[in-house]
Every structure is written in structure tokens, then in C-alpha cells.
Structure 1
């Protein structure tokens, strides 16, 4: 007995759907990944999480800002290395977590560039990082984009970071 033309058409349609289904499933996974950026919400990628905003600063200026922060932070890196070598409490700025906060002010882009890192007490032998104090420090740079050059708005400054453990101790 031969298959009816409509049955063959349904079977062919099911086969095509089975082949194409994994491709559309991957597209959904990629779309979910777009929203997993650590945005505020109950959990990254959760139902109340906000999508990532595109960086409004052009790529060339982003690269120039990275270079500027790297160059200017070198003296702070040297200072912290000297503190470590002399046995004083230091901030591990070499492994700092960078964060850039751009805003538009008076027709110019301004950026707070923050380098956050843990504070350590060096080991007696001078080997390794030493012992973490449990504190976090952030080095804050403030820049304005003038044409294609980043200009320092104010000198960099150190700030303490309120940690969850410290916040609980204050209650």
C-alpha cells in the first residue's frame, strides 16, 4: 500500500521541523545570555533583570581611556608594591576589578573609572599575597573627554568600600 500524498507531506514537515528546532533553541539560549550581565535584579538573567546597556562612548575613546587609566595607575601600583615590600598593609591593585561609569555633563562625556581591590597584610617571609584584611579599597579616577583626549577632572583618590560583613557589624 502506498502512502497518501498528504501523509508524506506531514512526515516531511515533521522531519524539517526536527532538523530546524535545535537552531531556534540555540537562538533562545543566545538571547538569554544577552541579559546575563550582572544587572540589578533578583538574579542575573532573572525576570526583573535589566538588559545590558550599550556603552555610549566610541571604541577608540574607550581604548584611549583604558590606556590613560593604565598609565596613571602605574604610580599607585608602584606605591602599593613598596608598601608590601616594607611589610605595610597594601592594596592588591594589580588584580583590581575595573568599573567605568560614563555620564554626559555639559555636552562632554565624563567617566568615573574605579579600580577595586582587596587589602592585604604581607606575610612575614614576603612570599605570596599575605593575609587578606577583609577590607576592599577603590581607586577612583575622574575624567572628561575633550575632543579625542581624556582630561583629568580631579586627582585620583582612594575610598573604602563598605563590605557586607562590615555593614552587618554596624547594625
Structure 2
């Protein structure tokens, strides 16, 4: 069950909704407006980000200046916006959080986190420069060698798993997309 509160009012007409299984063959309880008939669906949110790496192998991490997990390190990532692709969202988040100039690469990991109603997508990215200009959501942006990654200070499990898999793949020369379910 997701942490999101149930829908209480119709976003089309404002009437109080009822919660039931629609009569259209659906099998889940949905918020249904008895006034206008709209069925409201709650779907997972997409979190998009990347693993920005310099040519020498150092990885860019950002120290969060916002909750949740203020003061913890993370890969640049955030919620995907409407009217953008997953890679565009990843590039935007990297610019907003680190002010980094990147060349977007391939999709690296897709991590489903049903407990919080999210899907995290991380791309590989090549940093074109060491110049950074972190935005207001970031206390500090810094490059880390693999041996210096602050594992105990990472903000999210999805970031930790993505970094671990990235470093394992890099060491073995493997190129793959990781599909992970965190239950």
C-alpha cells in the first residue's frame, strides 16, 4: 500500500468521491465521483536521475539541502515533469541540483518501489567538465572516487543499489540494464 492519502474529492467537479471497484471490468478499488462519473486513478511517480561520471572515473554526488534526508549524499535525481522524457528529466535534475554539463548515456537501472508509489530510473552520464554550479536543493556537489563514496551517508536505498551495481558492472566490463523491485 502506498503512503499517498486516498482521494476525497473529484478533481473535475469537486464532489465527494466514493471508493469502489468500477463497473468496467477493473479489479481495484478506485475513487469514483457519483456526481460526474469520473474514475480517479492513482499511479506511481517517476523519479529520474543519472550517474554522472568524469572521464577519470570519479562520480558526482550531491549533498541534499532539502528533506527528506537533508545533509545526505545522493545522485542527482528528482520527480519527472509533464512534457519531458525520462532522459530529459534526468538531465534537468542534474542541471538543477549540480549545475553540471553532461552527455546523457544509456538507461542503467529501473527500480520499482511500490511501498512509496515510485519508479526510479537512472541513466549513465558523462560529465563534460568539472565545473559545477549547485542549485538551492544542494548543499555541496563533489566528485568521488569509488573507494571514497560515503556509503553510510547516502540518502536513499535506490541510490546505494544503483551505485553498487554501477561499480560492479564497471569492474567486470558488463553493460546491462538493471531491473530491480524493492519490496
Normalising by structure 1, report the TM-score.
0.25
Higher fraction of helix: 1
Higher relative contact order (CA 8 A, sep 6+): 2
Normalising by structure 2, report the TM-score.
0.24
